[in-house]
Structure 1
Amino acid sequence: MTKQTTINILLVDDHAIVREGYRSLISKQADLKVIAEASNGADAYCLYKECQPDVVVTDLTMPGLSGLELISRLKQRDRKARILVFSMHQNPSFARQACRAGALGYVSKSSAPDILLRAIRDVYLGRHILSADIAQALALEKLGNEATALNSLTAREFEILRLLVEANTQDDIAKTLNISPKTVGNCHYLIKNKLGVNSDIELTRLAIKLNVVSLLDLADPA
């Protein structure tokens, strides 16, 4: 009889109670094991180097280094990294940017538990997977001029856009993404140019309209 393979998982989410729930769910599966956890992208990157997990399951919105930037850095370090996004964001633009950065799968947190478990196994096998709601949102997305412009942003530009409209300074963004303030400034200009806006106020309004951020995100001091 062939020995069953155990899929080792690095779990990344900034809410401890959420990680506990995932860990409890995963621990009931004979072939899945959480070997490490992180509450932010920077810690997750370090743990990946130490633990070499088979699959990384990560949220996107976290303090400091976000899930999107984590995906990019992990893929730069290890082209074979297998990453699954498990996020509250149902905006298809987030899924598109995550997959563009290198994630193999994207599952919304509104999905049933068995969808997450199946997605982990699929990503381990190198398969691309989207939860049904995300796949439908991508299929039905209105390709208006604004949405098309948003999709033209690179993963790095998309992340800088999100950080800019959350009122982070260029110096803060540069530190978070480990790039120069000048690079942030150049990206800021390119983002406004691509999206056809002339001011940061217009940029923020457009980001809210396209669900890149919500008013609740902007009101949250954290």
Structure 2
Amino acid sequence: MLPADPSHTHANLRFLLVDDHPAVRQGLNLLLESNGYTPGVEAGTRSDAKECLEQAAFDLALLDLSLADGSGLDLLADLAEHGVRTLIYSMHEDPGTIDRALRCGANGYVTKREDPGVLLEGILGVLRGERFVSDRAGLSLDEAAGTSTADPLFLLSDQERAIFSAMARGESNMEVAEKLGISPRTVETYLTRMVNKLGLANVRTLRKFAINGRE
């Protein structure tokens, strides 16, 4: 458990910076250093980030959503499994993306058009165990409040959507695994996550929902 004021342990905190733009990662490290934090470990892709997670422990990940090898949303489960809190730092400001990120496990969301001070505020908030949504991201969510979405699949990551689409075509787990270049066991893991996100009873119900468009 972190102390109430993480500023007292700045030097002990470890950051993972996941963004496909080297200049952004450099800027984030300059911001961290100038505020007393230790520079973070940089990763430009999902695969790089996963490798970093296997090699070291981190307290907080600053995560972009648009990566060269897919969506940052697909990293959220891996980060959570390693006990890493996540603050999304993204150019995406649409309410669907923000809500989807938070529902998928992000601890906070800051848009890239906001002042660096907002990002620092978000870092402190998330390190304290709070959920932090910046004013700009919050305004986007507020404007969309009360507007129902016709697509419940907005909760799913890009990889999960691909698997859902394959299920809708009647493809087996083995066929999905071969097409996506992952193992059948990984497909099963994704299916379990999808069942939980969509509030369904089991994988059988999920498959029926994919094929028929209803439970």
TM-score normalised by structure 2 residue count: 0.70
RMSD: 3.3
Q: Is the 8 A contact 1:88 1:108 kept in 2?
A: yes
Asked whether 1:61 is paired with 2:61, we answer no
C-alpha separation in 1, matches of 2:29 and 2:59:
16
- Aligned residues of 2:29 and 2:40 also touching (Cα < 8 A): no
Q: Does residue 46 of the first structure (1) align with residue 47 of the second (2)?
A: no
Question: How big is the shift at 1:119?
Answer: 0.7
Judge conservation of contact 1:161–1:188 (CA < 8 Å) in 2.
no
Q: Which residue of 2 aligns with 1:202?
A: none
Whole-angstrom distance in 2 between the partners of 1:18 and 1:162: 29
**CA 49–138 in structure 1, closer or farther in 2 if over 3 Å, else same:** same
Q: Which residue pairs with 1:149 in the alignment?
A: 151
**Distance in 1 between residues matched to 2:44 and 2:61, nearest whole Å:** 13
Q: Distance in 2 between matches of 1:173 and 1:86?
A: 31
Residue 60 of structure 1 deviates from its aligned partner by: 0.5
Q: Any stretches of 5+ residues in structure 2 without a counterpart?
A: 1-6, 165-175, 192-202
Contact (CA 8 Å) 1:98, 1:155: kept in 2 or not? Answer: no
Quickly say closer, same or farther: Cα 1:192–1:68, change in 2 above 3 A.
farther
One-letter amino acid matched to 1:29: N
Contact map agreement 1:11 1:34 (CA 8 A) in 2? no
Q: Kindly report which structure 2 residues correspond to 1:30-179, keeping only aligned pairs within 5 A, or say none.
A: 30=36, 32-75=37-80, 77-78=81-82, 80-141=83-144, 143-145=146-148, 147-150=149-152, 153-156=154-157, 159-161=159-161, 174-175=180-181, 179=186
Contact 1:10-1:34 within 8 A present in 2 as well: no
Check whether the contact 2:177–2:183 (CA below 8 A) recurs between aligned residues: no
Structure 2 distance, partners of 1:87, 1:56, is 13
Displacement of 1:71 = 0.7
Aligned to 1:21: 27
The unaligned stretches of length 5 or more in structure 1 are 165-169, 196-222
CA gap of 1:64–1:28, structure 2 versus 1, over 3 A, is: same
Equivalenced residues, count: 181
Give the alignment's TM-score, normalised by structure 1: 0.68
Question: For the residues of structure 2 that align with 1:83 and 1:140, how far apart are their CA atoms?
Answer: 24
Q: Distance in 1 between matches of 2:91 and 2:104?
A: 18
Q: 1:149 corresponds to which letter in structure 2? A: D
- Matched residues in 2 for 1:59 and 1:177: separation? 26
Structure 1 distance, partners of 2:29, 2:146, is: 38
Letter in 1 for 2:15: I
Question: In the aligned structure 1, how far is the partner of 2:115 from the partner of 2:183?
Answer: 33
